[in-house]
Chains A and B, each alone.
Chain A
C-alpha cells in the first residue's frame, strides 16, 4: 500500500505523515433531541459532545478522563461506529469511516474492537464462552475454516489467562474479573490494531483491577495495540496512559501528555480533578469545598461550561466559550485565563 502511494508521487509525504496518526476525530458533535410535548415551542436538546477534535497516534495509550456525563463514553461509541455523529468526522488511518455502510466498514471493524465497562452485561447470558468468541470470527474472520476458528479461540483464551475448559461454560459461572478476561479475549480475537476500552476496570475489585490492567498492558506490548482508554480514575491514567484528554460537559478542556497533566495542569478543571483524587497519605479531603454543580448537558450554557465552578472566572468566560489552544507549556487547554 505504501508503494502504491509513493508511486503516485505528490501525496507520498502526506501518506507517511498520516501513518503516524491512527484515529482522527474532527469537530465531532453528538446531539440527542429530548422527549418533549409536541406543542412545546422550545425543543430541548441534549448535547452529549460539543465539537471534539483529537488525533490518536499509532501505538499510544490515549486516555480520556472526566466525570459522569462529560461525554467520554459517547466519544468512544462514535469512534467505534455504535453511534453516528450529528456533525463532524471520524477517520481511521486517513480514511473517513463514520459515514461508511456496513459492508464497506467491515475491514475496519476487524481492526477496531471494544472492551466494555460492565462485565455483567457485556456477555450474552445465553451463550457459552466459545459461542461468544466464535460469533466475532463468524463475521470478522472471513475465510477461516472451522479448524482455524477453533485454534484461534484456544490461542486467544490462553493469551488472556483463561483455561480452555471455560469454553463450554456460561457467563453466569464466572466472576467479574473472569468475565472481563473473556471480554478482552473477544476483543483480541480479530487481531485488532485499535481498542476502545470503556472503563474496563471500574466495576472490579482492587486486586482484580490490577490483574486486568496488567493483561491490557501485556496485550499492548505483545501486539503493538493502540488504546483509547476511557476512565474516571486519574491514578489509572498516570500508570497506564501516554496522553490524556480531560473532558467536561461534552468538550475537551485540556489535552496533554500524562507527565504534563500531572506536573503542570493548566486548566482549572484539571487542577480541581487532580486535587480531589484521594491518595495514600494525601490531603484531598482537608479543605472543605463548596458544592460544585455541573451544569446540565441539556441546552448547556453559552460561555465556558466550567464557569459556574471556576475559581478564575471572569466576565468573558460567561459569554464566550474558550477554544482548545496551545498553552505556554506546550499542551492544549480551553481556558481564557491561560495566556
Chain B
C-alpha cells in the first residue's frame, strides 16, 4: 500500500481519526507537561496544603485554578495526571522496545535456522507464556524491592518495570516474527540472496526482517497498551512507581483510600484518563490491523 492510499483510508475512517486525535493530544499533554501543566505538582514551592481535597470545578466548592480538583496534598489532579501519563507512556514504550528487541532476535533465529534452536526458543516462549505476566512481574518486583530496600528501589523502579514487563512479554513478538520468517524464507527472493553468498545475518536483517514488519507494527500498538495496563496494575498493587514520581497507576492507587471519604475524583480522573488512553491506542491498533493485513488474527 502506498503512503497516499494509506492516508486516504485513514481519513475516511472517523473512528481512526478520532482515536488518533485523542491519542495525539494525550501524548502532547504528557510530553509537554512541564510547560503546559498549571503547576509542577512535585515542586514543594508550588503546592499548598490549604488547597487539598478541592473537588473539580463543576462541583460546588471547586476552584478555577484546579480544573479536576486536587488531591490530599493540594496538588492539582490535572497536573499530576499530565505528569503521570508521561511516566506511563515511557514505561509502555520502553517495555515494548525491550519486548521487540528480544522477540525479534529470538523469532528471527528460531524461524531462520529452525531445528533445535527453534525448538529450544519456542519451548522457552511456551514456558514464559504459561506464567502470567503479572505473576512474574509481582514476584520479580517484590524480590527486587526486598533486596534493594524501598529507597534504592524507588530510584530504579522505572527501569525495573520496563525490564520486567519487557522480558515477560517477548514471546508475542517472537512467535509472530518466527511465523512470518518461516513464510518469507521459503520465497525465492531469499534463495536469490543466499546465492550471492552473503552472511546469514544480512539475509535475516536486510531481506527477511523488513518483510515481516507490518504485523509487528500492529502487535506493537496493542502491546504498548498492554504494557501500560500491566504497569498500572503493578503500581496499583504498590509494586510500581513510587509516590514521588507516580504513573497513572500509582495515582489511582494513592487516591483509592479517599474514595470512601467522598473524594472520588482523586482516583476517578486518572482512571478515566487511563481508560481513554488505552482505548485510543487499541482502536488505532485495530484499524491498523484491518488496514494493513485483513487476514492477520482473523483465524483466532
Whether the complex brings A and B within 8 Å at their CB atoms is answered yes
Interface size for A (C-beta < 8 A) is 27
Q: For the complex, is B197 an interface residue (Cβ under 8 Å from A)?
A: yes
Would A102 and B188 count as touching, CB distance under 8 A?
A: no
Would A114 and B192 count as touching, CB distance under 8 A?
A: yes
Closest CB-CB distance, A91 to chain B, in whole Å?
A: 18
Q: For the complex, is B155 an interface residue (Cβ under 8 Å from A)?
A: no
Closest CB-CB distance, B142 to chain A, in whole Å?
A: 40
Q: For the complex, is A271 an interface residue (Cβ under 8 Å from B)?
A: no
Would A138 and B210 count as touching, CB distance under 8 A?
A: no
Q: Which of B188, B197, B198 contacts A116 (CB 8 A)?
A: B188
Contact flags A108-151 to B (C-beta < 8 A → 1, else 0): 01001110111001111110000000011011100000000000
The distance in angstroms between the C-alpha atoms of A307 and B192, with both chains bound, is 38
Closest CB-CB distance, A46 to chain B, in whole Å?
A: 16
B198 to chain A: which residues have CB within 8 Å? 135, 138-139
The distance in angstroms between the C-alpha atoms of A135 and B198, with both chains bound, is 9
Would B188 and A125 count as touching, CB distance under 8 A?
A: no
Would A125 and B211 count as touching, CB distance under 8 A?
A: yes
List the B residue with the shortest CB-CB distance to A122. B188
Would A109 and B197 count as touching, CB distance under 8 A?
A: yes
Contact flags A291-332 to B (C-beta < 8 A → 1, else 0): 000000000000000000000000000000000000000000
Would B211 and A82 count as touching, CB distance under 8 A?
A: no
Contact flags B200-234 to A (C-beta < 8 A → 1, else 0): 00000001001100000000000000000000000
List the A residue with the shortest CB-CB distance to B191. A82
Q: Which 10 A-B pairs have the closest CB atoms?
A: A122-B188, A116-B188, A121-B187, A139-B196, A126-B210, A124-B189, A109-B197, A121-B188, A139-B198, A106-B197
Extra A-B contacts (11), CB below 8 Å, given A82-B194, A118-B188, A122-B192: A77-B191, A114-B191, A116-B188, A121-B189, A122-B189, A122-B191, A125-B189, A126-B211, A138-B198, A140-B196, A140-B197
Using a CB–CB cutoff of 8 Å, the interface residues on chain B facing chain A are: 187-189, 191-198, 207, 210-211
A-B contacts, 11 of them at CB < 8 A, read: A82-B194, A82-B195, A109-B195, A112-B195, A124-B207, A126-B211, A135-B196, A136-B192, A138-B198, A139-B197, A139-B198
